[in-house]
């Protein structure tokens, strides 16, 4: 059975699409996945003899040197998987500046045989950096089909946002909207929350990762879920993973119209203006039965078109192993 070596952060959201595919391929006895956090030494790599090694870019300087050695002395395919464009320092303190990030991506991708991305827009964004870019959309693993949401009575509709530190700038885009609706809805935030917004938030929850995450997301019991996104390169090419997860929970979604979310999912897409966001939220709140129907339509689309099936897994196997 071919061995596929991966160097991924298991708790990083961007790793989850690949981990799900590798685990399901392993269950079908199509590959033997081996995951380690750091790049192996040449001796360790030679003993394992993987058919392919897959990483997330940009790579650290130490990892770059290790991959150069692996490229020079082994026949293993080298792949990079990118679920979304990485955040720069403008979004995530401690990350590289935007140009440094771009330079790091260029250096990292030059060492790869293939680059796998989640959307045509991201493929186009990176097209100047690599000649062989494959598009495999992000899908949910089978465990999301078992997610159950139990709705409870609430005094007001529950409207929520889920995000990471890199996405706090996106939440700030709708700060005026959050304040304006504070008396009409219960605002639910899971993830970091700016100090200025906390007086308007009904529930502020710590971020959740790993196997408990689907159940926790379902327990938010949202009437409407929001995905604001800025029009920088990170926002334009954000993963559709969160929209899929909201859909699996049956939540109707209002989202900024960005490239990463232009697909067949029935989302309510808006421009980043206070008026557009206000109008979209109003429409959902004024007819909660119709809003619930939209959430169920999204769930049906996610389950029919956006979960891992045999054809999807075969695409991954082909990309991972074909030369």
Q: What CATH code is carried by the domain that includes residue 32?
A: 3.40.50.2000
Note the pLDDT tens digit of each residue in 6-61: 987 655 565 778 888 898 899 988 999 998 888 888 889 999 999 999 988 788 88
Q: Are residues 207 and 317 in the same domain?
A: no
Residue 209 pLDDT level (bands cut at 50, 70, 90)? confident
Q: Are residues 299 and 179 in the same domain?
A: yes
Q: Are residues 160 and 297 in the same domain?
A: yes
Q: What global pTM score does this model have?
A: 0.94
Describe the chain by its helix, strand, coil percentages, rounded to 5: 45, 15, 40
Closest CA to 194 of 204, 202, 184, 207: 204
Q: Are residues 153 and 266 in the same domain?
A: yes
Q: Are residues 119 and 231 in the same domain?
A: no
Number of domains the chain contains: 2
Q: Are residues 316 and 266 in the same domain?
A: no
Residue whose entry in the numeric block shows the structure tokens 């392919």:
52
Q: Are residues 217 and 159 in the same domain?
A: yes
Q: Are residues 25 and 130 in the same domain?
A: yes
Q: Are residues 173 and 85 in the same domain?
A: no
Residue whose entry in the numeric block shows the structure tokens 């964004």:
125
Q: Which domain holds residue 163?
A: 143-305
Residue 83 pLDDT level (bands cut at 50, 70, 90)? very high
Q: What is the average pLDDT value for the chain, to the nearest integer? A: 93
Q: Are residues 156 and 126 in the same domain?
A: no
Q: Are residues 58 and 183 in the same domain?
A: no
Q: Is the pLDDT of residue 186 over 80?
A: yes
Rg (CA), the chain: 20
Count the neighbouring beta carbons within 10 Å of the beta carbon of residue 264: 8
Q: Is the pLDDT of residue 234 over 70?
A: yes
Residue 240 pLDDT level (bands cut at 50, 70, 90)? very high
Which residues touch 128 (CB under 8 Å, ≥6 apart)? none
d(CA 71, CA 39): 13
For the segment 171-200, the average pLDDT, to the nearest whole number, is: 97
Q: Are residues 241 and 197 in the same domain?
A: yes
Note the pLDDT tens digit of each residue in 246-302: 999 999 999 999 999 999 999 999 999 999 999 999 999 999 999 999 999 999 999
């Amino acid at each position: 059975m071919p061995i596929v070596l991966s160097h991924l952060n298991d708790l990083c959201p961007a790793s989850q699409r690949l981990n799900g595919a590798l685990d399901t391929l392993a269950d079908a006895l199509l590959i033997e996945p081996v995951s380690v956090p750091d790049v192996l030494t040449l001796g360790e790599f030679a003993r394992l003899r993987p058919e392919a090694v897959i990483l997330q870019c940009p790579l650290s300087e130490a990892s770059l040197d290790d991959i150069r050695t692996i490229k020079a002395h082994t026949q293993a395919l080298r792949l990079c998987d990118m679920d979304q464009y990485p955040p720069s320092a403008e979004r995530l303190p401690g990350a590289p500046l935007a140009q440094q990030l771009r330079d790091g991506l260029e250096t990292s991708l030059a060492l790869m045989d293939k680059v796998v991305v989640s959307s045509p827009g991201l493929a186009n964004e990176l097209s100047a950096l690599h000649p062989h870019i494959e598009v495999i959309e992000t899908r949910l693993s089978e465990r999301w089909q078992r997610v159950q949401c139990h709705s409870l009575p609430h005094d007001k509709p529950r409207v929520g946002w889920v995000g990471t530190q890199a996405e706090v700038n996106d939440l700030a885009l709708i700060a005026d909207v959050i304040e304006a609706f504070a008396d009409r809805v219960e605002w639910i935030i899971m993830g970091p929350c700016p100090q200025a917004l906390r007086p308007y938030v009904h529930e502020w929850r710590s971020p959740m990762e790993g196997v408990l995450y689907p159940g926790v997301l379902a327990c938010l019991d949202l009437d409407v879920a929001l995905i604001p996104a800025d029009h920088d390169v990170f926002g334009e090419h954000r993963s559709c993973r969160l929209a899929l997860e909201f859909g699996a929970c049956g939540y109707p979604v209002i989202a900024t119209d960005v490239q990463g979310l232009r697909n067949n999912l029935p989302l309510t897409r808006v421009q980043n203006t206070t008026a557009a966001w206000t109008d979209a939220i109003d429409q959902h709140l004024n007819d909660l039965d119709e809003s619930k129907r939209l959430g169920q339509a999204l769930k049906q689309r996610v389950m029919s078109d956006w979960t891992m099936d045999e054809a999807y897994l075969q695409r991954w196997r082909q990309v991972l192993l074909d030369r």
